[in-house]
Amino acid sequence: YSRDAEGSWFRSLFVHKVDPRKDAHSNLLSKKETSNLYKIQFHNVKPECLEAYNKLTEEVLPKLHSDPDYPCDLVGNWNTWYGEQDQAVHLWRFSGGYPALMDCMSKLRQNKEYLDFRKERSRMLLSRRNQLLLEFSFWNEPQPRQGPNIYELRTYKLKPGTMIEWGNNWARAIKYRQENQEAVGGFFSQIGELYVVHHLWAYRDLQSREETRNAAWRKRGWDENFSYTVPLIRTMESRIMIPLKISPLQ
Summarised one tens digit per residue, pLDDT across range 149-207 is 999 999 999 999 999 999 999 998 888 888 788 999 999 999 999 999 999 999 999 99
Contacts of 106 (CB under 8 A, 6+ apart): none
Cα diameter, the chain: 65
What domains does the chain contain, in order, with CATH numbers?
36-243 (3.30.70.100)
Summarised one tens digit per residue, pLDDT across range 75-132 is 999 999 999 999 999 999 999 999 999 999 999 999 999 999 999 999 999 999 999 9
- Determine the 3-state secondary structure of 29 from DSSP: helix
> Residue 11's pLDDT is what?
52
- Rounded Cα gap, residues 75 and 39, in angstroms: 10
> Residue 69's pLDDT is what?
93
Instruction: Please indicate, yes or no, whether the overall pTM of this predicted structure exceeds 0.85.
Output: yes
To which H or E segment does residue 135 belong? strand 125-135
- Rounded Cα gap, residues 66 and 128, in angstroms: 25
Band of pLDDT at residue 20, cut at 50, 70 and 90: very low
Paired with 79 in beta bridges are 88, 242
